[in-house]
Amino acid sequence: MAIGVLALQGSFHEHVLALRRLGVHAIEVRKADQLDGLAGLIIPGGESTTMAKLANQYNLFPALKDFSTSGKPMWGTCAGLIFLADRATGLKDGGQELLGGLDCTVHRNFFGSQVNSFETELAVPALAASEGGPPRCRAVFIRAPAIVEFGSSVEQIADCEVPSFSAPPSLEGEMFTRRRVAVAVRQGNFLGTAFHPELTSDTRWHSYFVKMVQAFEEVAASSALVPQKFCCRNDSFEEMKDLPIFEGLVQEKIL
């Protein structure tokens, strides 16, 4: 089972490292033919407009759209979340092309500019129930978007209090006035997070996505060719020193 990480720009390397720590075969994707045979795809955080321009420059959008409609799991983090949204607001002049798939509206730079980047802890009971570990996770928001609206088929996995320094954006002429906003959602085989799990030592988000991929593979495979069960291998965090991590988030092994 191979999982791809779109490697045009942004924090793709950190996603690759996180997957490999879990024993997963991770492939950096820069060309359309590298999507062939992948079981799932991660679109990392970065600069969404730049990533869209590079995807168009390398003629990747048709292949990415085909992948997004194949039913195979996809996970977008930060800028990747914007890519997977059906609707986006607050875009630069001229807008940008979206892959779609998640029935939600994402506001680009909801939390402000680069200087407004922040870290916080999120309540994630669904993640803890699936992957073990504490019921909270550390979340890194870097010039982050937020999910301001989503459809009835979309499950909210985590939300966040809107920081006092975050100027409420205008949504279709009306100011956003809610005190909390969604920052992690799932709809079928699409997962979206407004923050950067790959920048922490907590690999539960990656193991959660890998199990989504495994479940899809098992459904798609014939009864004689069921892939091997995935076992999330969380070794000691002492081996993770090569990442700009936030240590001590999960002290127990996740099975």
Residue 176 pLDDT greater than 90, yes or no:
no
Q: Tell me: the pLDDT tens digits for 60-75? A: 999 999 999 999 999 9
The per-residue pLDDT for 230 is 47
Q: Are 185 and 150 in contact (CB under 8 A)?
A: yes
**pLDDT score recorded for residue 251:** 39
Lowest mean pLDDT among 139-143, 190-194, 233-237: 233-237
- Does the annotation place 204 within a ligand binding site? no
How far, in Å, CA of 137 to CA of 8, rounded? 28
198 is catalytic: yes
Q: Mean of the pLDDT values across residues 110-114?
A: 85
Known binding residue 47? Answer is yes
Q: What are the residue ranges spanned by the domains of the chain?
A: 2-222
Residue 86 confidence class, pLDDT cut points 50, 70, 90: very high
Structure tokens at 250: 């999960």
> pLDDT band at 96, cuts 50/70/90?
confident
- Report pLDDT for 70: 92
Q: Is the pLDDT of residue 229 over 70?
A: no
- DSSP codes joined into one string, the chain: -EEEEE-SSSSHHHHHHHHHHTT-EEEEE-SGGGGTT-SEEEE--S-HHHHHHHHHHTT-HHHHHHHHTTT--EEEETHHHHHHEEEEESPPTT-------EEEEEETTTT-SGGG-EEEEEE-HHHHHHH-S-SEEEEEESS--EEEEE-TTPEEEEEEEPPTTSPPPEETTEE---SEEEEEEEETTEEEESS-GGGSS--HHHHHHHHHHHHHHHHHS-GGGPPPPP------GGGGTTS----SS--S---
In this prediction, residue 244 has a pLDDT band, given cuts at 50, 70 and 90, of: very low
Residue 167: pLDDT band by 50, 70, 90 thresholds? low
Q: Which of residues 1 and 28 earns the better pLDDT score? A: 28
What band does 18 get if pLDDT is binned at 50, 70 and 90? very high
Q: How far is CA 46 from CA 12, 51, 94, 175, in A?
A: 9, 7, 19, 26
217 is known to lie in a ligand binding site: no
Across 83-98, average pLDDT: 83
Dist CA 144 CA 141 (whole Å): 5
Catalytic residue among 14, 78, 137, 232: 78
Which one of 14, 107, 137, 198 is the catalytic residue?
198
Give yes or no for a contact between 83 and 51, defined as CB atoms under 8 angstroms apart: yes
Q: What is the dotted CATH code of the domain comprising 2-222?
A: 3.40.50.880
Respond yes or no: is residue 160 known to be catalytic. Answer: no
Read off the tokens for 41: 């795809």
Selecting among 196, 206, 217, 232, the annotated active-site residue is 196
> According to the annotation, is 233 in a ligand binding site?
no
Per-residue pLDDT of 191-212, as tens digits, reads 999 999 999 999 999 999 999 9
Say what the alpha-carbon torsion angle 47, 52, 57, 62 is, to the nearest 10 degrees. 150
Known active-site residue 196: yes
Q: Is 131 annotated as a binding residue?
A: no
Q: Is 143 annotated as a binding residue?
A: yes
The mean pLDDT value of the chain amounts to: 84
179 exposed, middle or buried (CB, 10 Å; 0-12, 13-18, 19+)?
exposed
Indicate the pTM of the whole model.
Answer: 0.84
Give the pLDDT score at 237.
Answer: 36
